[in-house]
Structure 1
Amino acid sequence: MEQAYKYNELRQHEISDGEITSKPMVLFLGPWSVGKSSMINYLLGLQDSPYQLYTGAEPTTSEFTVIMHGEKVRSVEGIVMAADSSRSFSPLEKFGQNFLEKLVGIEMPHKLLERVTFVDTPGIIENRKQQERGYPFNDVCQWFIDRADLIFVVFDPTKLDVGLELEMLFRQLKGRESQIRIILNKADHLATQDLMRVYGALFWSLAPLINVTEPPRVYVSSFWPYEYAPDTSRELFKREEISLLEDLNQVIENRLENKIAFIRQHGIRVRIHGLLVDRYVQTFKDKMSFFSDPELVFKEIVDDPDKFYIFKSILAKTNVSKFDLPNRDAYRDFFGINSVNSFKQLSAQCSYMGGCLLEKIEKAITNELPSLLSSISLGKNPSLSSCEATGCGEKPKNRYRRH
């Protein structure tokens, strides 16, 4: 369906085999020198080893660094990662060679990396325009955000000012609020009273940027291997650290459900796109007569699709929400590049052996993927009648803490 209706040219997001089989991705975002690289070193136990990520008080990370599992420790150049179709990073080629020089992979044998991949990003520097980086920084961030299972946005108590770059980042995170976790790092630098003020100031700064009813989870601690400073909330920091690790573990445990749900959501978008192109083609054929000018006829349809009920007719279909419909202007650009005559109608996208595209994708969305989800859920609770499986009717009060 993606290939038949050139979905990649509309959304630039095809799902490859590498993406389906990839491990959960944890993305680290935030201003420079807030402790993102130190936090990854700490979680993987790389401190004081030859493989630790470089850290410092100045902006040190200038690359997008992907830390993944491998049989031995080695670094992988960005051009190699993009060229390897078995990995999920081949679509990054579209951001150009300048970006691929700023992409690096690090492989190492590590138990945690067998189940998850970490991505360290360059720190946001408010006085630097993204054009100065030599590649579309925000677009690259968006690519990783769209694929991340967990997004840690890290802050330093002394760097809470929100500028244009950070505002842009939170606009890009819109719709991904359930994956966002805020980290207030280096918390043992402050006395308890000051920490409470900083916590309030952080929420005050972020409130206009996160428009959701339930605020994101905030973890307050110092994520590095050194002892907490004396006379600080040591027990609180330790409990927060345990909660964060349980949160990370939950994402790993739910990786199959999340992947299936993501593929189903993608399937719904592709189906809507196919239905819309089909409707445009059908309307064009109905409007055409022997004396009509094809360009003028189709321009009228593309300029005012509501006049021909293009989008409203799609809402009558099952599994289509008005909130999932793409922007009308996107189709003006889409058909500006692709001639309407280059597309067949959905009724013609059938073969004797392969069946019909629309029927197959509807079957996957309605039956096959939901039944896969059900089978995984049942597999996790094989004995639903036992107290161990159900907790005897009790539900955990805190979804961030496993019981």
Structure 2
Amino acid sequence: MKGIVSICCFFSLLVLALAEEEVADVLSNILRDRSHIDETLRLASEENAAENYHAAIQKLRKIYHSAIKPMEQAYKYNELRAHEISDGEITSKPMVLFLGPWSVGKSSMINYLLGLKDSPYQLYTGAEPTTSEFTVIMHGEKTRSIEGIVMAADSSRSFSPLEKFGQSFLEKLIGIEMPHKLLERVTFVDTPGIIENRKQQERGYPFNDVCQWFIDRADLIFVTFDPTKLDVGLELEMLFRQLKGRESQIRIILNKADNLATQDLMRVYGALFWSLAPLINVTEPPRVYVSSFWPYDYAPDTSRELFKREEISLLEDLNQVIENRMENKIAFIRQHGIRVRIHALLVDRYVQTFKDKMSYFSDPDLVFKEIVDDPDKFFIFKSILAKTNVSKFDLPNREAYQDFFGVNPIGSFKSLSAQCSYSGGCLLDKIEKAITSELPGLLSSINPGKAPPGLSSCEATGCGDKPKNRYRKN
């Protein structure tokens, strides 16, 4: 009799376990509510904002072509920096870049944000390394895929410089266009996962150089981990070296957090910081979002409210980048204009010094070699620091001009005083006007009444009150 009771108890427990497993499977297949994504990102906002954005972009494009690009071409700035700004780069949307180890949920996160689950163009996901291409998800009138060779050949896009990485890479580049409200404001880039036990040479193209190209142009960089892939190898260490100087754009994501109990999640969170501490050498560490970013509901008995708040925080961060996209464009073009101006002033100084040192009996090659080898002897770089809007931290490397003038003879450049015309004015005056008044004026026009960063509106305008001296007795 006891044996019969034991068998009955065993089967009861087995049935209960199977029932719990079935319930878990059902819960794991329930799709999560996505309404908060549209609300947080304000995808249903008025179209006037988009019209104002396009109008400001056209003004920015006009300023660049009329004031900055002529100076670039006159003094061949692109051959020094190897960075030519195309119309596609000016008009491009903010770029969000997803980096991290393989199979940590990068593609699933994009599917979730765009609502691509069960659609023909959802990114393929799986437990094994699935993404072998750089996938650019962008807005288009209809849903279609575009080959990398076509993307690089289209001058209206911002991806034409990728041709320099060769045809092998372009075969690993793919674009997906689709009509989507979020993609009207931002572009997502999904990257191949980092695999520590494989040499980069096996990819057939310079993986780190390609990542650097996207890093330099990204407005927001999501570095994604999951609880099972916290170890840092050589490739991930190299990636964080490439991210130096971009700490303000980096956001760390601890994905698949609902797979762990609360106590285990705390340990994993600490282990992640311990692994990344040697790689992020900043006083304030990047923001870490802890959640499960995929279309299905959270696992039962997990910190659902915490994960939901973390997800909303991430969406607010993304929305901030979208709302500041015009300010970032103007700041980027102005910074580029300052560098072009500095380069033109330096070339002009080299030209003037060469002319002053030349005499009837001088050897031009020896005179020029003396100037290029020791520019400090002739105060070339120090004289530029006396100009306005010039910082010593923005000055190019002295050795770079040895290579620059090795390719471009100094006799091929005119002095800045000769770069003037009766109808068009002087190139230097035009670029200085763009830097000091036109670009700041465009920034003020899109944010009327907005105080500069760090100042309240009263501190910016005065509010009509006489400022008080807190060190003087009243």
TM-score by length of 1: 0.91
Q: Work out which of the residue numbers 89, 97, 104 in structure 2 matches 1:19.
A: 89
Q: Could you say if the C-alpha distance between residues 318 and 218 of structure 1 is closer, same or farther in structure 2, counting changes exceeding 3 Å?
A: same
Q: Could you say if the C-alpha distance between residues 401 and 236 of structure 1 is closer, same or farther in structure 2, counting changes exceeding 3 Å?
A: farther
Q: C-alpha distance in 1, partners of 2:230/2:245?
A: 23
Q: Work out which of the residue numbers 128, 132, 139 in structure 2 matches 1:69.
A: 139
Q: C-alpha distance in 2, partners of 1:321/1:161?
A: 40
Contact 1:247 1:400 in 2 (8 A): no
In the alignment, structure 1 residue 257 sits paired with structure 2 residue 327: yes
1:134-170 Cα distance to aligned partner (Å, 9 max, x none)? 2222221121111111111111221112222222222
Tell me by how many angstroms 1:260 deviates. Answer: 0.7
Q: Could you say if the C-alpha distance between residues 383 and 163 of structure 1 is closer, same or farther in structure 2, counting changes exceeding 3 Å?
A: closer
Q: Could you say if the C-alpha distance between residues 393 and 185 of structure 1 is closer, same or farther in structure 2, counting changes exceeding 3 Å?
A: farther
Q: Could you say if the C-alpha distance between residues 352 and 386 of structure 1 is closer, same or farther in structure 2, counting changes exceeding 3 Å?
A: closer
Q: Could you say if the C-alpha distance between residues 291 and 58 of structure 1 is closer, same or farther in structure 2, counting changes exceeding 3 Å?
A: farther
In the alignment, structure 1 residue 387 sits paired with structure 2 residue 458: yes
Contact 1:7 1:270 in 2 (8 A): yes
Residue 50 (structure 2) aligns with:
none
Contact 1:246 1:400 in 2 (8 A): no
Contact 2:346 2:380 in 1 (8 A): yes
Contact 1:243 1:401 in 2 (8 A): no
Tell me by how many angstroms 1:365 deviates. Answer: 0.8
SS of the aligned residue for 1:2 comes to helix
Of the structure 1 ranges 252-261 and 202-211, higher mean CA displacement relative to structure 2 is found in 202-211
Tell me by how many angstroms 1:311 deviates. Answer: 1.6
SS of the aligned residue for 2:447 comes to helix
Contact 1:284 1:301 in 2 (8 A): yes
Tell me by how many angstroms 1:44 deviates. Answer: 0.4
SS of the aligned residue for 2:136 comes to strand
Tell me by how many angstroms 1:82 deviates. Answer: 1.1
Contact 1:396 1:402 in 2 (8 A): no
Q: C-alpha distance in 2, partners of 1:402/1:246?
A: 46
SS of the aligned residue for 1:365 comes to helix
Q: C-alpha distance in 2, partners of 1:76/1:200?
A: 42
Q: C-alpha distance in 1, partners of 2:110/2:201?
A: 28
Tell me by how many angstroms 1:209 deviates. Answer: 2.1
Q: Could you say if the C-alpha distance between residues 394 and 144 of structure 1 is closer, same or farther in structure 2, counting changes exceeding 3 Å?
A: farther
Q: C-alpha distance in 2, partners of 1:258/1:379?
A: 18
Tell me by how many angstroms 1:99 deviates. Answer: 1.4
Tell me by how many angstroms 1:368 deviates. Answer: 0.8
Q: For this pair of structures, how many residues does the alignment match?
A: 402
Contact 1:184 1:219 in 2 (8 A): yes
Q: Could you say if the C-alpha distance between residues 200 and 63 of structure 1 is closer, same or farther in structure 2, counting changes exceeding 3 Å?
A: same
SS of the aligned residue for 1:244 comes to helix
Residue 43 (structure 1) aligns with:
113
Tell me by how many angstroms 1:377 deviates. Answer: 1.6
Tell me by how many angstroms 1:95 deviates. Answer: 1.6
Q: C-alpha distance in 1, partners of 2:191/2:216?
A: 15
Q: C-alpha distance in 1, partners of 2:443/2:310?
A: 31
Tell me by how many angstroms 1:274 deviates. Answer: 1.3
Contact 1:219 1:244 in 2 (8 A): yes
Q: Could you say if the C-alpha distance between residues 389 and 308 of structure 1 is closer, same or farther in structure 2, counting changes exceeding 3 Å?
A: closer
Q: C-alpha distance in 2, partners of 1:140/1:361?
A: 32
Q: Could you say if the C-alpha distance between residues 206 and 395 of structure 1 is closer, same or farther in structure 2, counting changes exceeding 3 Å?
A: farther
Q: Could you say if the C-alpha distance between residues 130 and 385 of structure 1 is closer, same or farther in structure 2, counting changes exceeding 3 Å?
A: closer
In the alignment, structure 1 residue 360 sits paired with structure 2 residue 360: no
Tell me by how many angstroms 1:35 deviates. Answer: 0.9
Q: C-alpha distance in 1, partners of 2:469/2:224?
A: 22
1:366-394 Cα distance to aligned partner (Å, 9 max, x none)? 111111111212177x9999999999999
Contact 1:246 1:401 in 2 (8 A): no
Q: Percent identity?
A: 92
Of the structure 1 ranges 289-298 and 248-257, higher mean CA displacement relative to structure 2 is found in 289-298
1:307-350 Cα distance to aligned partner (Å, 9 max, x none)? 22222211111111111112222222222222222222212111
Q: Could you say if the C-alpha distance between residues 335 and 205 of structure 1 is closer, same or farther in structure 2, counting changes exceeding 3 Å?
A: farther
SS of the aligned residue for 2:137 comes to strand
Contact 2:111 2:295 in 1 (8 A): no
Contact 2:250 2:286 in 1 (8 A): yes
SS of the aligned residue for 1:43 comes to helix
Q: Could you say if the C-alpha distance between residues 229 and 383 of structure 1 is closer, same or farther in structure 2, counting changes exceeding 3 Å?
A: closer
SS of the aligned residue for 2:222 comes to strand
Q: C-alpha distance in 2, partners of 1:62/1:193?
A: 35
Q: Which structure carries more helix by proportion?
A: 2
Contact 2:139 2:177 in 1 (8 A): yes
SS of the aligned residue for 1:152 comes to strand
Q: Which has the larger radius of gyration?
A: 2
Residue 154 (structure 1) aligns with:
224
Of the structure 1 ranges 68-77 and 190-199, higher mean CA displacement relative to structure 2 is found in 190-199
1:82-107 Cα distance to aligned partner (Å, 9 max, x none)? 11111111121122211111111100
Contact 1:35 1:185 in 2 (8 A): yes
SS of the aligned residue for 1:358 comes to helix
Tell me by how many angstroms 1:61 deviates. Answer: 1.1
Of the structure 1 ranges 127-136 and 141-150, higher mean CA displacement relative to structure 2 is found in 127-136
Q: Could you say if the C-alpha distance between residues 396 and 177 of structure 1 is closer, same or farther in structure 2, counting changes exceeding 3 Å?
A: farther
Q: C-alpha distance in 2, partners of 1:247/1:395?
A: 38
Tell me by how many angstroms 1:130 deviates. Answer: 2.9
Q: Could you say if the C-alpha distance between residues 107 and 284 of structure 1 is closer, same or farther in structure 2, counting changes exceeding 3 Å?
A: same
Divergent runs of 4+, >4 A:
382-403
Residue 401 (structure 1) aligns with:
472
Q: Which structure has the higher relative contact order (CA within 8 Å, separation 6+)?
A: 2
Residue 166 (structure 2) aligns with:
96
Residue 202 (structure 1) aligns with:
272
What RMSD, in angstroms, separates the aligned Cα atoms of the two structures? 5.6
Q: Could you say if the C-alpha distance between residues 284 and 209 of structure 1 is closer, same or farther in structure 2, counting changes exceeding 3 Å?
A: farther
Q: Could you say if the C-alpha distance between residues 301 and 128 of structure 1 is closer, same or farther in structure 2, counting changes exceeding 3 Å?
A: farther
Of the structure 1 ranges 291-300 and 316-325, higher mean CA displacement relative to structure 2 is found in 291-300
Contact 1:243 1:400 in 2 (8 A): no
SS of the aligned residue for 2:288 comes to strand
